[in-house]
C-alpha cells in the first residue's frame, strides 16, 4: 500500500509540473509578443525535460550536464549560430515558424535548451543536499569561486596564447552568454553556487532582522516581478524613449530602482495576499 501511495503522489507531482510547464509556455509566448528576450517559454521546456530526468542519480545528472555541453560544442562547429539573428538590433526572424522556433529553442536563442538545461539540472542537484548546513554553504561558496576563477583564467590563456586573436574560433573559449560555450556554463554555474551560498549564509545571520522580513516576500513573487519588470519597467523606459540609448551605468541604476520598488511592492502585497498575482493564477489553473 505504501508503494502504491508513493507512486500516486509522484504521478500527481508530475502532472502538476507538466501543467505548470504548459502555463509557463503559454505565458512566455504571450510575453514574446512584447519582449523577445523572454525566458519563460524556455523554462517550460526545462520543466518538461526536468521531469523526465528527475529520477536519475546525482552522478547521472552530472553526466547529462556534461553531455549537453559536448553536444552543443559539436553543434556550434557544424551549424550556423547566426541564423535568424540581427545582432545589431537583437531581433530574431523566423521565430514563429516551426524551423525557427526549434532552432531558437534548442540552439541559438537567448537561453537555448542546449546547454541551458544544465543549469536547471544543477538546481535539482542542489535540492538534494542539506542547504541549511554551514559546511554545505561554505563548500558552495568555495566551489563557486574556484569555478569562476578557473573558467576565466582558462578563457584568458586559450584566447591569448592558443587561438589567434583575429581567429573566428575565439568565441569557443569565451565566457560570454551568447553563444553559451562550456567555459561560460562553468563560470555561470560557479557564480550561481557562490551567490546562493552567500545568500543562504546571510539568511541564517539576518533571519530575525527587519531587513530579512522586508526582502523575503520578493522571493515568493519572482514570476510576478519578472512580468512586471517587462510590462511596467521596460514599458516605462520605452515610453520615455530611452530604449537602446542608455549607458551601462544608467541601465544599472534603472534596474536598481526597479529592484527597490519591486521589493517594496512585494512586501506590501504580502501583507494581504499569500502569493503574487501570477503565482496565484498559476496555482489556480494548475493545482
User: Chain-centre distance of CA 142, in angstroms?
Assistant: 22
**Which grid cell sits at 52?**
523526465
| Alpha-carbon distances, residue 24 vs 41, 120, 192, 276, 286 (angstroms) | 6, 15, 23, 15, 11
Helices (H) and strands (E) in the chain, counts: 12, 2
Over residues 241-272, the pLDDT tens digits come to: 656 656 777 778 878 888 899 999 999 999 99
The mean pLDDT value for 183-210 works out to 91
Residues in contact with 19: Cβ distance below 8 Å, sequence separation at least 6, in sequence order:
285, 286, 287
User: What would the DSSP string read from start to end of 235-287?
Assistant: HHHHHTT-TTT--HHHHHHHHHHHHHHHHHHHHHHHTT-SS-HHHHHHHHHH-
* Whole-angstrom distance, CA of residue 95 vs CA of residue 72: 20
User: Average pLDDT, stretch 168-182?
Assistant: 88
Say what the pTM is. 0.88
Burial 79-95 (b: 16+ CB within 10 A, else e): eeeeebbeeeeeebeeb
For the cut 90, the answer to whether the pLDDT of residue 143 exceeds it is yes
The rounded mean pLDDT for the chain is: 88
pLDDT band at residue 34 using 50, 70 and 90 as cut-offs: confident
Res. 216 pLDDT band, cuts 50 70 90? confident
Which pLDDT belongs to residue 248?
74
Which of 180, 194, 222, 228 minimizes the C-alpha distance to 71?
180
pLDDT above 60 (res 31): yes
pLDDT of residue 161: 79
- What is the largest distance, in Å, between two alpha-carbon atoms of the chain? 66
Residue 2 has pLDDT above 60, yes or no: no
- Given a cut of 70, whether residue 162 has pLDDT beyond it is yes
Grid coordinates standing for 40? Answer: 519563460
Residue 105 has pLDDT above 60, yes or no: yes
pLDDT confidence of residue 75? 94
Q: Check residue 246 and give its pLDDT.
A: 65
Q: Which of 90-99, 232-241, 248-257 is least confident?
A: 232-241
For residue 229, give the nearest of 203, 181, 263 by alpha carbon: 263
Q: Would you state the pLDDT for residue 281?
A: 93
State the average pLDDT over residues 27-33: 93
Amino acid at each position: 500500500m505504501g508503494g502504491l501511495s508513493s507512486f500516486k503522489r509522484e504521478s500527481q507531482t508530475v502532472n502538476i509540473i507538466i501543467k505548470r510547464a504548459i502555463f509557463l509556455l503559454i505565458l512566455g509566448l504571450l510575453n514574446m509578443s512584447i519582449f523577445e528576450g523572454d525566458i519563460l517559454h524556455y523554462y517550460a521546456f526545462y520543466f518538461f525535460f526536468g521531469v523526465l530526468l528527475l529520477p536519475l542519480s546525482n552522478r547521472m545528472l552530472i553526466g547529462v550536464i556534461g553531455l549537453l555541453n559536448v553536444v552543443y560544442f559539436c553543434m556550434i562547429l557544424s551549424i550556423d549560430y547566426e541564423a535568424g539573428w540581427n545582432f545589431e538590433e537583437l531581433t530574431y526572424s523566423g521565430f514563429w515558424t516551426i524551423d525557427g522556433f526549434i532552432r531558437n529553442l534548442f540552439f541559438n536563442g537567448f537561453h537555448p535548451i542546449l546547454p541551458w538545461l544544465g543549469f536547471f539540472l544543477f538546481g535539482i542537484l542542489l535540492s538534494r543536499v542539506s542547504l541549511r548546513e554551514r559546511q554545505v554553504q561554505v563548500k558552495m561558496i568555495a566551489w563557486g569561486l574556484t569555478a569562476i576563477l578557473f573558467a576565466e583564467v582558462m578563457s584568458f590563456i586559450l584566447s591569448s596564447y592558443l587561438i589567434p586573436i583575429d581567429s573566428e574560433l575565439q568565441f569557443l573559449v569565451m565566457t560570454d552568454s551568447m553563444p553559451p560555450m562550456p567555459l561560460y556554463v562553468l563560470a555561470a554555474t560557479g557564480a550561481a553556487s557562490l551567490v546562493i551560498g552567500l545568500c543562504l549564509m546571510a539568511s541564517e545571520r539576518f533571519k530575525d532582522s527587519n531587513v530579512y522580513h522586508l526582502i523575503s516576500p520578493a522571493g515568493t513573487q519572482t514570476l510576478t516581478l519578472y512580468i512586471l519588470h517587462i510590462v511596467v519597467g521596460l514599458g516605462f523606459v520605452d515610453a520615455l524613449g530611452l530604449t537602446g540609448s542608455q549607458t551601462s551605468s544608467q541601465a544599472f541604476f534603472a534596474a536598481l530602482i526597479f529592484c527597490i520598488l519591486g521589493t517594496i511592492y512585494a512586501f506590501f502585497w504580502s501583507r494581504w495576499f499569500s502569493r503574487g498575482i501570477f503565482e496565484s493564477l498559476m496555482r489556480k489553473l494548475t493545482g
